């Protein structure tokens, strides 16, 4: 095993690691998959992770004199369960089929360049989801319609602001304000369950995936990164509340 | 009538799970199983809370445990890691309203800080909302992770031999 080969493996595992962590996979899975890839290629992999950076050491299995250590930045990708499933499967394929580094790298490039889900489809599905959420909280059909429309407009705002790389706290405040303002028309229209429509209109923004991931990380013993994820999600919830309180102050003069 | 209530609860929970899940880009093949898991889990929680009077945190724990166990079974079929199936299925149960009401209570408390009676009422409502939202989220994640601890070998090799890459 030469130093060049170990460096090449470290280059690849660094990319693999940063893509998985950036796409919101919980830490113990990322560590386990990277170690499995390392075993498949005949090296030892050790990883230290935090919220925005990770440290990676790759060294030869028998010959620890060849090694490569680096600190890498974790890019902020949108959360992707598809990458989670595909890249996990890639690590097993590399382990079982004894793939070479070049084959693994080609497969990796093909997997991460797969097209994402159509944004219009996501927009429609999220609005439908929020409308049925309104129903779960006891809203009637008119409240569901108002919630559907409000979410459609709010989520559209969020998609557009995200595409223009606006700071994500500002994105959350603005889209919570827009969605709840649209839903507050239910009060003027005199719908019986208008309060429910107003309360559920912002729920599509709640960062459920980081919240659950954070607790999973804590139960797995990665307590630092788990708490970072929870704090991150908490900041977003505060932003939702700020955006929504703008609307409530305008239409109701009271928050609770 | 009760049966219709339970079925409609499951149905709307399934739609909500698929919709909120689609924001996080799951693989297309996982959608039917996410819907089934969410429907069963949410309907279980609804029954426990409405008919048996169980509190929201314990009911969430049991529902999440059922979702987690189901995802061990389904994950092998579609070659998805368990989290890909159970996190979207848990999303309709995340206590979003309690979470932002915590922040509202804090804001109202700060505005009424000079009035001892109203101020302490808002403080009480803040603690109530915060403890409900935190314990429900904690119970959801722990309940769904317990099957991973029980069946470690099987749970960690879900994507082995996947036909989809």
- Of the candidates B8, B20, B27, which has its C-beta nearest A85's C-beta? B27
Say if B34 falls within a structural domain.
Answer: yes
Does residue B165 have a pLDDT over 80? no
pLDDT at B115: 87
Instruction: Tell me which chain B residues have a C-beta less than 8 angstroms from the C-beta of A26.
Output: 83
Q: Rounded to an integer, what distance in angstroms lies between the CA atom of residue A56 and that of residue A63?
A: 18
Q: Find the mean pLDDT for residues B108-116.
A: 90
Instruction: Tell me which chain A residues have a C-beta less than 8 angstroms from the C-beta of B165.
Output: 86, 89-90, 93, 107, 111
pLDDT at A182: 95
pLDDT at A178: 96
Q: What angle do CA B86, A15, A104 make, to 5 degrees?
A: 85
Mean pLDDT of chain B: 93
Report yes or no: A79 at the B interface, CB cutoff 8 Å.
yes
Say if B128 falls within a structural domain.
Answer: no
3-state secondary structure string across B50-69: HHCCCCHHHHHHHHHHHHHH
pLDDT at A35: 95
Q: Rounded to an integer, what distance in angstroms lies between the CA atom of residue A119 and that of residue A121?
A: 5
Does residue B156 have a pLDDT over 90? no
- Among B107, B71, B61, smallest CA distance to A245 is for B107
Say if B118 falls within a structural domain.
Answer: no
pLDDT at B154: 85
pLDDT band, very low/low/confident/very high, at B116 (cuts 50, 70, 90): confident
Residue of chain B whose Cα is closest to the Cα of A233: B99
Cβ contact, residue pair A135, B12, below 8 Å: yes
Q: Rounded to an integer, what distance in angstroms lies between the CA atom of residue B55 and that of residue B49?
A: 6
| The pair of three-digit structure tokens given for residue A139, joined into one six-digit string | 């809203």
Say if B30 falls within a structural domain.
Answer: yes
Q: Up-side HSE of residue A232: CA atoms within 13 Å toward CB?
A: 21
pLDDT by position in tens, chain A (length 256)? 899 999 999 999 999 999 999 999 999 999 999 999 999 999 999 999 999 999 999 999 888 899 999 999 999 999 999 999 999 999 999 999 989 999 999 999 999 999 989 999 999 999 999 999 999 999 999 999 999 999 999 999 999 999 999 999 999 999 999 999 999 999 888 888 899 999 999 999 999 999 999 999 999 999 999 999 999 999 999 999 999 999 999 998 778 7
Contact assessment for residue B94 and residue A208, using Cβ atoms and an 8 Å cutoff: yes
Residue in the block written with tokens 């819907």: B35
pLDDT at B127: 97
Does residue B97 have a pLDDT over 90? yes
Q: Rounded to an integer, what distance in angstroms lies between the CA atom of residue A16 and that of residue A21?
A: 9
Total of domains in chain B: 1
Say if B134 falls within a structural domain.
Answer: no
pLDDT at A131: 95
DSSP state for residue B165 in the 8-state scheme: -
Max Cα–Cα distance, chain A, nearest Å: 76
Report yes or no: A111 at the B interface, CB cutoff 8 Å.
yes
Say if B133 falls within a structural domain.
Answer: no
- Among A95, A78, A62, A70, smallest CA distance to A17 is for A70
| The pair of three-digit structure tokens given for residue A238, joined into one six-digit string | 């505060």
Q: What angle do CA A134, A136, A138 make, to 5 degrees?
A: 75
Domain around B65: 2-94+139-164
Shortest distance between the Cα of B55 and any Cα of chain A, in A, equals 17
Say if B107 falls within a structural domain.
Answer: no
Contact assessment for residue A1 and residue A68, using Cβ atoms and an 8 Å cutoff: no
Predicted confidence (pLDDT) per residue in A31-54, tens digit: 999 999 999 999 999 999 999 999
Higher pLDDT, B165 or A111: A111
- Among B48, B62, B134, B124, smallest CA distance to B98 is for B134
| The pair of three-digit structure tokens given for residue A167, joined into one six-digit string | 């700071």
Cβ contact, residue pair A136, B90, below 8 Å: no
Cβ contact, residue pair B81, A29, below 8 Å: yes
Sheet holding A43-49, edge to edge: A43-49, A53-60, A67-73
Q: What percent of chain B has pLDDT over 90?
A: 82
pLDDT band, very low/low/confident/very high, at B153 (cuts 50, 70, 90): confident
Contacts of residue A115, Cβ cutoff 8 Å, sequence gap at least 6: none
Q: Rounded to an integer, what distance in angstroms lies between the CA atom of residue A104 and that of residue A101?
A: 5
Contact assessment for residue B102 and residue B133, using Cβ atoms and an 8 Å cutoff: yes
pLDDT at A129: 95
Say if B11 falls within a structural domain.
Answer: yes
């Amino acid at each position: 095993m030469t130093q060049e080969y170990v460096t090449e493996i470290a280059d690849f595992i660094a990319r693999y690691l940063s893509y998985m962590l950036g796409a919101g996979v919980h830490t113990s899975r990322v560590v386990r998959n990277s170690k499995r890839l390392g075993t498949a290629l005949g090296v030892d992999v050790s990883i230290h992770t935090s919220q925005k950076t990770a440290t990676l050491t790759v060294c030869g299995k028998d010959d620890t004199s060849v090694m490569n250590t680096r600190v890498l930045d974790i890019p902020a990708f949108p959360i992707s369960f598809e990458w989670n499933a595909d890249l996990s499967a890639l690590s097993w394929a590399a382990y079982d089929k004894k793939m070479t580094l070049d084959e693994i790298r080609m497969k990796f490039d093909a997997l991460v360049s797969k097209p994402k889900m159509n944004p219009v489809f996501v927009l429609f599905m999220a609005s439908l989801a929020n409308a049925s959420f309104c129903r779960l909280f006891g809203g009637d059909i008119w409240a569901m319609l108002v919630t559907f429309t409000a979410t459609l407009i709010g989520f559209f705002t969020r998609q557009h602001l995200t595409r223009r790389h606006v700071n994500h706290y500002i994105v959350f405040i603005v889209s919570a304000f827009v969605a709840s303002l649209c839903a507050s028309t239910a009060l003027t229209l005199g719908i019986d369950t208008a309060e429910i429509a107003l309360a559920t209109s912002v729920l599509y923004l709640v960062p459920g995936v980081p919240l659950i991931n954070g607790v999973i990380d804590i139960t797995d013993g990665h307590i630092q990164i788990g708490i970072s994820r929870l704090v991150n999600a908490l900041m977003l919830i505060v932003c939702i509340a700020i955006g929504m309180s703008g609307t409530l102050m305008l239409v109701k003069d009271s928050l609770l | 009538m009760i049966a219709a209530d339970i079925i409609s609860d499951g149905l709307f929970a399934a739609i909500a799970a698929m919709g909120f899940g689609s924001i996080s880009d799951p693989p297309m093949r996982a959608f039917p199983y996410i819907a089934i898991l969410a429907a069963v889990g949410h309907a279980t929680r609804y029954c426990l809370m409405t008919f048996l009077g169980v509190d929201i945190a314990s009911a969430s724990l049991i529902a999440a445990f059922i979702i987690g166990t189901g995802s061990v079974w389904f994950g092998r079929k579609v070659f998805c890691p368990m989290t890909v199936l159970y996190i979207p299925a848990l999303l309709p149960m995340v206590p979003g309203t309690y979470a932002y009401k915590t922040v509202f209570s804090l804001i109202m408390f700060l505005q009424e800080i000079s009035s001892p009676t109203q101020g302490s009422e808002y403080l009480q409502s803040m603690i109530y909302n915060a403890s409900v939202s935190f314990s429900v989220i904690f119970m959801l994640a722990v309940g769904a992770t317990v099957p991973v601890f029980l069946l470690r070998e099987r749970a960690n090799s879900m994507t082995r031999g996947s036909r989809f890459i």
